[in-house]
Amino acid sequence: MFQKIRRLFAWENHPAGESPCQKNTPEQIIGRLEREAAEGSVDAMYLLGMTYYSGNGAEKNSVKAQEWFEKAAAEGNTVAMRNLAGMYTAGDGVEKNPAKAKEWLRKAEAIEIMLKALGWVWGVAE
């Protein structure tokens, strides 16, 4: 996962022939994701949530993961909504709460059904 994030930021502003992947430390990548999230990037919010949730690239921190997933979910990211549902279902880093889990799943499904109806998403809400 962290390698995927690293590749997203790797090739900008590097001389030809240099491999920038070795120059981006996890701290630099987290810093950049946080700046982009502050500027409104929903993808950056989601990636920060995944980074903190998995502990891959940053110390595992369920509180921060939940915070970033909620920010991404508030902007309509259905994967973040489903991750929150999973956290609440299992009590993974949060207090187990089946009602909140169902709420997040319903929100995700409603958005996915709408997007599928518009022809923007394939393979969901079938």
Tokens matching residue 93? 């880093």
Is residue 115 very low, low, confident or very high in pLDDT (cuts 50, 70, 90)?
A: confident
Give the helix ranges, DSSP H, for 1-126.
2-8, 26-38, 42-54, 62-74, 78-90, 98-117
pTM of the model: 0.76
Mean pLDDT of 54-65: 93
Q: CA distances (Å), 22 to each of 4, 5, 72, in order? A: 13, 13, 28
Q: Tell me, what's the pLDDT at 82?
A: 97
pLDDT above 50: residue 20: no
Q: What is the mean pLDDT of the chain?
A: 84
Q: Tell me, what's the pLDDT at 24?
A: 81
Q: Using CA atoms, how far apart are residues 121 and 108, in angstroms rounded to an integer?
A: 13
Q: Are 104 and 77 in contact (CB under 8 A)?
A: no
Q: Tell me, what's the pLDDT at 8?
A: 54
98, burial (CB in 10 Å: exposed 0-12, middle 13-18, buried 19+): exposed
CATH class of 2-117: mainly alpha
